[in-house]
């Protein structure tokens, strides 16, 4: 390792332009890390594709733009229309129901599987691989499989009939009350592996010795779980709940594939309504208002959820 | 305390049963795809076909049928767009994340926060202006346009993941290289980036999966064009196939195969990517 002749110091940062902060190393010379303009393409892309479009969308939420031609400013009229249309308030309620249900079920079931697979089971690696498999599939493909399962002459009803529970057979996707639950089942099914994997990573950081010590002191399973495991996997809980919450609020593919929003708009969510209003009916301004509402919802819930799962150690 | 006791055996059996229950949909998927059209109508949905047949796949994939063209085109489109997006995300995102991770100036911290917030913003709000913007730029309905769009939308994720890895990298390597007279670019390309293998892998898997399985954005920008990705092709095809579940599931299996093959070869990477990369 020899220094190149003629250069006993690292090349200095250019005198013009923003200097990237450097750190004094041994010997007193400074190191520059990269060039500040390396971040430029990423920043430009992000500003152009995400912030500019989001801001523009937020603007159009207060207009009646149809995507082409001129538009007029209508202020809050779009929003008052939203809250006075049963179909749309219904979509809002559905979005909330699905998001909360998804959050709870996906995390609880994922945690249960993670606890089971955490130690000592002989088949745990195979099971982990198999249970994670649904996560990598396209939600729309998964939805088609479940559409078959929930069909009136499909496996679910047939199984119920075979074990003598004919009374419980329903046309799951055509019943306004049950269709939403069916969509929830599909969402949860696909994400159990996802939360399970996050919790497995968190559980792996819980030292065995702590649990053993607690057991020696007489703590039962539940007590050990509550007092040791849960506090120590708090970061995993925070991540898993955040991600499932955001995912749940944005639900789109499954609804479109399973019910198309029906029957009679009973399973519309905010995301599917945005699509329908903007791209099927051509009311871009109105669709933007719905999208703005959805964004606000996500923001509010995320902030609230971050507060609730904040590190309390 | 954690010996393998009888109780553990019971837990193992219960868990295996739970896993089997979770995996039942795959059984229906495969068994129905192997039935003929008549068998779907006549036999019970729970039964495995007595003489499983691959004719559904033949119908869809044989060069003579008109669906095979759209399926193969969809496959090609998905591959091109996904690979292109991954490359773009790595090339644009890693230098940016490097600068953010190493810099301590207030501007860079603020800009980095912008990236973090951008991850949370839902695509729905900006999708309409994005469509108009893309149409004006001629990006609608072309693979290049989709790559630009996907890259733009996913760059915050790429930057976030890379920055997390860069932060944990000790600066000794860069210092040593700089002492030896390496330029900053050389330090990055020859030393730092090669050390980022796991990060690149995580970005490739997470972003690649998002792009490959994406339906909403692809539907809006590519529907009706020649470059539909696989999910859109499948959606349009299934729409025309009311209740012909054997064909529908054959399409579904075809669409799932590329990802599943990839998954089984690299599952450890997949799971690590999801669990580890997201810890940030």
- Any idea where the domains of chain B sit in the sequence? 66-277
**Nearest neighbour of A36 by CB, restricted to B99, B121, B122:** B99
Second-level CATH architecture of B66-277: Orthogonal Bundle (1.10)
- Cβ separation of B274 and A197 shorter than 8 Å? yes
pLDDT band at A21 (very low <50, low <70, confident <90, very high): very low
pLDDT band at B278 (very low <50, low <70, confident <90, very high): low
Query: Is A73 in a helix, a strand, or coil?
Result: strand
Whole-number Å distance between alpha carbons of A111 and A105: 10
Question: In this complex, is the C-beta atom of B162 within 8 Å of any C-beta atom belonging to chain A?
Answer: no
Instruction: Return the axis-axis angle of helices B230-239 and B245-277, rounded to nearest 10°.
Output: 150
A contact test, residue of B108, B112, B126 with most A CBs within 10 A: B126
When mean pLDDT is compared over A54-63, A126-135, A162-171, B162-171, the highest value belongs to A126-135
How confident is the prediction for chain A on average, in pLDDT? Answer: 80
Q: How many CA atoms lie within 13 A of A102 on its CB side?
A: 30
**Tens digits of residue pLDDT in B196-243:** 888 888 888 888 888 999 888 888 888 877 888 888 888 888 877 777
- Cβ separation of A279 and B220 shorter than 8 Å? yes
Backbone phi and psi for residue B199, each to the nearest 5 degrees, phi listed first:
-65, -45
Across A42-51, B130-139, B271-280, least confident range: B271-280
Pairs of CB atoms within 8 A across A/B: 296
CATH topology of domain A87-279+287-308: MetI-like fold (1.10.3720)
Residues of A in contact with B97 (CB under 8 A): 42
Instruction: Of A285, A43, A45, A271, give the one whose Cα is nearest residue B132.
Output: A285
Burial (CB < 10 A; 0-12, 13-18, 19+), residue A73, is: exposed
CA of B63 vs chain A CAs: smallest distance (Å): 24
Residues of B in contact with A271 (CB under 8 A): 122, 124, 216
Question: In this complex, is the C-beta atom of B226 within 8 Å of any C-beta atom belonging to chain A?
Answer: no
Report the residue of chain B nearest A150, measured CA to CA. B25
Contacts of A192 (CB under 8 A, 6+ apart): A106, A109, A110, A113, A131, A134, B22
Across A237-241, A291-295, B1-5, B36-40, least confident range: B1-5
Q: How many residues does chain B have?
A: 280
Residue B27 vs residue A29, higher pLDDT:
B27
Query: Is A24 in a helix, a strand, or coil?
Result: strand
Question: In this complex, is the C-beta atom of A1 within 8 Å of any C-beta atom belonging to chain B?
Answer: yes
Between positions 54 and 83 of B, the ones with CB within 8 A of A are: none
Query: Is the CB of residue A139 less than 8 Å from the CB of residue B213?
Result: yes
**Nearest neighbour of A53 by CB, restricted to B126, B235, B274:** B126
- Cβ separation of B184 and A274 shorter than 8 Å? no
Between positions 183 and 222 of A, the ones with CB within 8 A of B are: 189, 192, 194, 197-198, 200-201, 208, 211-212, 215
Query: Is the CB of residue A187 less than 8 Å from the CB of residue A102?
Result: yes
Instruction: Tell me how far the alpha carbon of residue A253 is from its chain's centroid.
Output: 13
- Spell A101-112 as b/e; 16+ CB within 10 A means b: bbbebbbebbbb
pTM, entire model: 0.81
Contacts of B61 (CB under 8 A, 6+ apart): B68, B71, B254
- With a cut of 90, say whether residue B251 has pLDDT above it: no
Mean pLDDT of A54-72: 80
- Quick one: tokens of A174? 């055509």
**Tens digits of residue pLDDT in A114-168:** 888 887 677 788 888 889 989 889 888 898 899 888 888 888 888 888 887 777 7
pLDDT band at A202 (very low <50, low <70, confident <90, very high): confident
CA of A177 vs chain B CAs: smallest distance (Å): 23
**Nearest neighbour of B121 by CB, restricted to A54, A129, A208:** A54
Query: Is the CB of residue A182 less than 8 Å from the CB of residue A258?
Result: yes
Which value does ipTM take for this structure?
Answer: 0.81
- Quick one: tokens of A258? 């399973």
Per the listing, tokens 């729309």 go with: A140
Question: In this complex, is the C-beta atom of A294 within 8 Å of any C-beta atom belonging to chain B?
Answer: yes
Q: Is the alpha carbon torsion for B81, B86, B91, B93 positive or negative?
A: positive
Q: How many residues does chain A have?
A: 313
Instruction: Tell me how far the alpha carbon of residue B16 is from its chain's centroid.
Output: 28
Residues of B in contact with A41 (CB under 8 A): 92, 96
pLDDT band at A7 (very low <50, low <70, confident <90, very high): very low
**Tens digits of residue pLDDT in A243-283:** 888 888 888 888 888 888 778 788 888 888 888 888 888 88
- With a cut of 80, say whether residue A48 has pLDDT above it: yes
Whole-number Å distance between alpha carbons of A36 and A60: 34
CA of A1 vs chain B CAs: smallest distance (Å): 7
């Amino acid at each position: 390792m020899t220094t190149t002749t003629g250069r006993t110091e690292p090349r200095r940062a250019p005198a013009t332009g923003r200097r990237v902060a450097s750190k004094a190393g041994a010997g007193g010379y400074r190191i520059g890390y990269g060039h500040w303009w390396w971040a430029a393409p990423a920043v430009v892309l992000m500003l152009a594709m995400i912030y500019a479009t989001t801001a523009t969308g937020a603007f159009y939420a207060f207009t009646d733009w149809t995507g082409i031609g001129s538009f007029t400013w209508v202020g809050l009229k779009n929003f008052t229309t939203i809250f006075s249309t049963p179909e749309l308030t219904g979509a809002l309620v559905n979005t909330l129901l699905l998001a909360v249900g998804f959050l709870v079920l996906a995390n609880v079931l994922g945690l249960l599987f993670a606890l089971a697979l955490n130690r000592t089971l002989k088949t745990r690696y195979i099971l982990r691989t198999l249970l994670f498999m649904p996560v990598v599939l396209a939600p729309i493909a998964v939805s088609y499989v479940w559409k078959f399962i929930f069909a009136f002459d499909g496996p679910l009803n047939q199984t119920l009939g075979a074990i003598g529970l004919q009374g419980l057979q329903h046309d799951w996707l055509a019943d306004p009350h049950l269709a939403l639950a069916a969509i929830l089942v599909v969402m949860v099914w696909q994400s159990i592996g996802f939360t399970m994997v996050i919790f497995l990573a968190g559980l792996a950081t819980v030292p065995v010795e702590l649990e053993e010590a607690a057991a020696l002191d007489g703590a039962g399973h539940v007590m050990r779980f509550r007092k040791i495991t849960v506090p120590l996997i708090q970061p995993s809980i925070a991540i898993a709940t955040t991600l499932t919450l955001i995912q749940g609020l944005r639900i789109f593919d499954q609804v479109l594939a399973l019910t198309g929003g029906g029957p009679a708009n009973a399973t519309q969510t905010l995301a599917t309504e945005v699509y329908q209003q903007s791209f099927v009916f051509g009311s871009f301004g109105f669709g933007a208002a719905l999208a703005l509402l959805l964004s606000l919802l996500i923001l509010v819930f995320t902030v609230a959820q971050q507060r609730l799962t904040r590190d309390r150690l | 305390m954690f010996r393998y006791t009888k109780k553990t055996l019971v837990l193992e059996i219960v868990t295996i049963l739970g896993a089997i229950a979770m995996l039942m949909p795959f059984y229906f998927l495969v068994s129905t795809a192997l039935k003929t059209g008549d068998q779907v109508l006549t036999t019970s949905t729970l039964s495995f076909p007595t003489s499983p047949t691959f004719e559904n796949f033949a119908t869809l994939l044989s060069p003579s049928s008109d669906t095979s063209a759209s399926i193969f085109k969809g496959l090609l489109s998905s591959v091109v767009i996904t690979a292109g997006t991954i490359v773009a995300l790595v090339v644009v995102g890693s230098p940016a994340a490097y600068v953010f991770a190493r810099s301590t100036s207030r501007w860079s911290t603020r800009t980095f926060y912008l990236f973090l917030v951008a991850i949370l913003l839902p695509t729905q709000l900006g999708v309409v202006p994005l469509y108009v913007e893309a149409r004006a730029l001629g990006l609608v309905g072309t693979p290049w346009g989709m790559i630009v769009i996907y890259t733009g939308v996913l760059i915050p994720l790429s930057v976030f993941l890379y920055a997390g890895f860069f932060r944990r990298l000790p600066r000794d390597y860069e210092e040593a290289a700089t002492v030896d007279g390496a330029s900053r670019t050389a330090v990055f390309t020859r030393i730092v980036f090669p050390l980022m293998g796991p990060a690149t892998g995580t970005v490739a898997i997470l972003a690649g999966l998002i792009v490959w399985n994406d339906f909403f954005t692809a539907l809006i920008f590519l529907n009706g064009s020649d470059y539909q990705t696989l999910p859109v092709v499948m959606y349009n095809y299934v729409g025309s196939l009311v209740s012909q579940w054997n064909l529908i599931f054959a399409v579904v299996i075809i669409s799932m195969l590329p990802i599943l093959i990839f998954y089984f070869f690299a599952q450890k990477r997949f799971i690590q990517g999801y669990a580890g990369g997201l810890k940030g």
